[in-house]
Structure 1
Amino acid sequence: MTERVVVGGAVFDQGRLLAARRSAPPELAGRWELPGGKAEPGETPAQTLVRELREELGIEVEPLEPLPGQWPLKPGYVLHVWTAALRTGVPRPLEDHDEVRWLAPEAVDEVDWLDEDRPAVAEAVRRLVSGGARHEAAPNVSPRSGRDDSRP
């Protein structure tokens, strides 16, 4: 049986991690995840991440690197997680989410993460705290205005 890849994004900005609360499907509603979605045929994980975060949260990200490991989801699906840096936009729930939050490393346990996301969240936070993540690779400079679009 071929597994379909779901790409989650450990999105970093100003030393924080982005979390999104699911609104659908009903069995996942109210729990938090690293946002992302299913890869389309012929799409790379990085392309999937950029497309999904644009569609679901209205943001542009720069994929950085994959986290080690993969996590089984429902039958036939497997989660791969990539770190990413916010480049432009303010995340807002557009599809499948009803809330988003930026979490400092010490606050990540304040939300009820989906079980499948917990190992990736732990690794992402470890990288944030240790400085091992390339999360501040470049400022969030708007290509149109040239101004810094970093969010507080």
Structure 2
Amino acid sequence: MSEPRKHTEVAVGILIREDNALLLSTRPEGKPYAGYWEFPGGKIEAGESVEEALRRELHEELGITIGGAQVWKTTEHDYPHALVRLHWCKVHAWTGEFEMREGQAMCWQQLPLDVAPVLPGALPVLAWLARERGLAA
């Protein structure tokens, strides 16, 4: 019998502009699901809180510094390459100019999204955001 898979803990930022647009970026070349659209974030390192990891990841990936971030929802997704526990944080405040430091593309999107494909782990969150805004998911 094989060992149960260990979760990879991930901090994810849902950056929300004043007009309610959401920031999405593409997965960089060389990573699983390269080219898929996702919310930015990354692995939580040992000893980091979700907020600390999100602050570090968004600075590394996008060149921005975020204001406060609290976990809004936590989900799990079982990808072929990893079992992930996603800690979703809504982020309304940041400073700095966006720089795509991993060669990824970015775009601001209103719901419903008009980009595809979207990383499967993000789909439940998009549905919750749509429901919050009174939109059909």
TM-score range, shorter chain: 0.7 to 0.9
Unaligned residue ranges in structure 2 (runs of 5+) = none
Kindly tell me: are residues 123 and 62 of structure 1, through their superposed partners in 2, closer, same or farther at Cα, counting changes over 3 Å? farther
In the alignment, residue 94 of structure 1 is paired with which amino acid?
Answer: R
Question: 1:81 and 2:88 equivalent?
Answer: yes
1:36-93 Cα offsets, whole Å, 9 max, x none, are 0000101011111111001000112224432333122443432221111232123231
Displacement of 1:125 = 4.0
Superposition TM-score, scaled by structure 2 size? 0.79
In the alignment, residue 100 of structure 1 is paired with which amino acid?
Answer: M
In the alignment, residue 84 of structure 1 is paired with which amino acid?
Answer: V
Structure 2 residue corresponding to 1:13, chosen from 17, 28, 33: 17
Q: Output the aligned Cα RMSD.
A: 2.1
Matched with 2:73 is 68
Question: 1:111 and 2:122 equivalent?
Answer: no
- Partners of 1:114 and 1:67 lie apart in 2 by 19
- Partners of 1:30 and 1:63 lie apart in 2 by 29
Question: 1:120 and 2:125 equivalent?
Answer: yes
In the alignment, residue 105 of structure 1 is paired with which amino acid?
Answer: L
Single out whichever of 3-12 and 115-124 deviates more from structure 2. 115-124
| Structure 2 residue matching 1:72: 3-state secondary structure | strand
1:81-118 Cα offsets, whole Å, 9 max, x none, are 111123212323102x5211111224x24332101111
Structure 2 residue corresponding to 1:3, chosen from 1, 7, 18: 7
Superposition TM-score, scaled by structure 1 size? 0.72
- Partners of 1:118 and 1:78 lie apart in 2 by 14
Paired-residue identity, % = 28
Aligned length: 127
In the alignment, residue 101 of structure 2 is paired with which amino acid?
Answer: L
> 2:27·2:33 contact (CA, 8 Å) conserved in 1?
yes
